[in-house]
Amino acid sequence: MKATYYKHILEFKRPSGTSRGVLKTKETWFIVITSEGKQGIGECGILRTLSIDDRPDYEEKLKWTCTNINLGTNQLWKELKEFPSIQFGVEMAFRSLESKSPFLLFPSKFTSGEDTIPINGLIWMGEKEFMKNQITDKLEQGFDCIKMKIGAIDFEAELELLSYIRSQFSEDTIELRVDANGAFNTNDALEKLSRLYEYQLHSIEQPIKQGQQAAMKKLCAATPLPIALDEELIGIFSVTEKRKLLLTIQPQYIILKPSLIGGFRGTQEWIDIADELGIGWWITSALESNIGLNAIAQYTYSLHSEMPQGLGTGSLYTNNIEAPLIVEKGTLRYEPKNEWKVSYLD
């Protein structure tokens, strides 16, 4: 068994804004395992400045992983606990290697094209008119769940955009989620949540920066609007720590990004604890290429959640891997007749 790794820079079709800045490119890494004439492909989807494994020794750890690939997926997952994106890439690559096809990791009615996954339409930050145009496009494309990133432009302008959507569509027609990416100040966060509540929102992701557990606990207890933890989950490695975090903060939801929290196994640990505590959850991609998105989507479908998931990121790039993933009428569909094209990984 041998393993190699490749770096790939994904280029956004249009610079995409978050409260942490504007993204023009996205770095990702692929691990390819070969054994007895078969090939398995996994993606290590690091997000610079956000991933806990954004470290100077990242590539060195990738090299070590490939050198020690014979340790197998279980042992490597333990050894790589401080590198969740590599944990995920290794899990993905081994599952790919063991599958009948490198891209059918979790065969189901989704991969056979018989069923779809409901997803939210993502609205990126930008000038008010740009955001309004995105909203119009998503509604025309048939989305009935929209997620809007907030916290970068004027808050009043963001409220006007939400008001515009609600003037056209009731909460029974369009589900609205917002993602602050930690942009609110602890001093006025509750006031902002109260104002957002007027627009019948489903939830808000990470209103304040992670690492402020006492403040987040107070917010979750007092908020009129359900709060979903996102960045708060990053860097929490053990099951004991995960349980402690959720018991302390008691959020209404958690959002799971496998590349940031230790892959399938790390995600499942969070889900098991959340289910036990009555906390809702959904899964979101973290700007991976279609290799990672495909794995996340297939895994997500296997969990049988009826909530819209955050898996609509496949069309963001000019140089993504060509894949049979299609966004259609607010859902993600797998078209088995279409081919994968990953020739540069050969």
Question: What radius of gyration, in Å, describes the C-alpha atoms of the chain?
Answer: 20
Residue 262: left if φ>0, alpha if ψ -120 to 50, beta else—which one? left
Candidate list 138, 149, 192, 242, residue with the active-site label: 149
What confidence category does residue 19 fall into, taking pLDDT thresholds of 50, 70 and 90? low
Domains identified in the chain and CATH numbers: 2-98 (3.30.390.10), 117-345 (3.20.20.120)
Q: Note the pTM of the prediction, 2 decimals.
A: 0.94
Q: Is 149 a catalytic residue?
A: yes
pLDDT number for residue 189: 95
pLDDT number for residue 96: 97
What is the distance between the alpha carbons of residues 274 and 171, in angstroms, rounded to a whole number? 26
**Beta strands in the chain, from DSSP E residues, in sequence order:** 2-18, 21-35, 38-44, 117-118, 121-123, 145-149, 175-179, 203-205, 227-229, 253-256, 280-283, 325-328, 331-334
Mean pLDDT in residue range 44-50:
90
CA atoms within 13 A on the CB side of 316: 26
What confidence category does residue 53 fall into, taking pLDDT thresholds of 50, 70 and 90? very high
Task: Give the lowest-confidence range in 128-132, 145-149, 165-169, 292-296.
Answer: 128-132
DSSP for 71-124 reads GHHHHHHHHTTT-HHHHHHHHHHHHHHHSSSTT-SS-STTTTTS--EEBPEEE-
Query: Quick one: which of 166, 177, 200, 205 has its CA closest to 189?
Result: 205
What is the distance between the alpha carbons of residues 282 and 238, in angstroms, rounded to a whole number? 20
3-state secondary structure 149-188: ECCCCCHHHHHHHHHHHHHHCCCCCCEEEEECCCECCCCC
CB 134 within 8 A of CB 17: no
Tens-digit pLDDT profile for residues 262-294? 999 999 999 999 999 999 999 999 999 999 999
Mean pLDDT in residue range 151-170:
87
Whether residue 344 is predicted with pLDDT greater than 60 in this model: the reply is: no
Whether residue 49 is predicted with pLDDT greater than 60 in this model: the reply is: yes
Q: Is 132 a catalytic residue?
A: no
Q: 38 burial class (0-12, 13-18, 19+ CB within 10 angstroms)?
A: middle
Q: Of 66 and 126, which is predicted with more confidence?
A: 66
Candidate list 26, 147, 209, 257, residue with the active-site label: 257
Whether residue 126 is predicted with pLDDT greater than 80 in this model: the reply is: no
pLDDT number for residue 17: 64
What confidence category does residue 313 fall into, taking pLDDT thresholds of 50, 70 and 90? confident
Tens-digit pLDDT profile for residues 168-193? 889 998 999 999 989 999 999 999 99
Tens-digit pLDDT profile for residues 205-256? 999 999 999 999 999 999 999 999 999 999 999 999 999 999 999 999 999 9
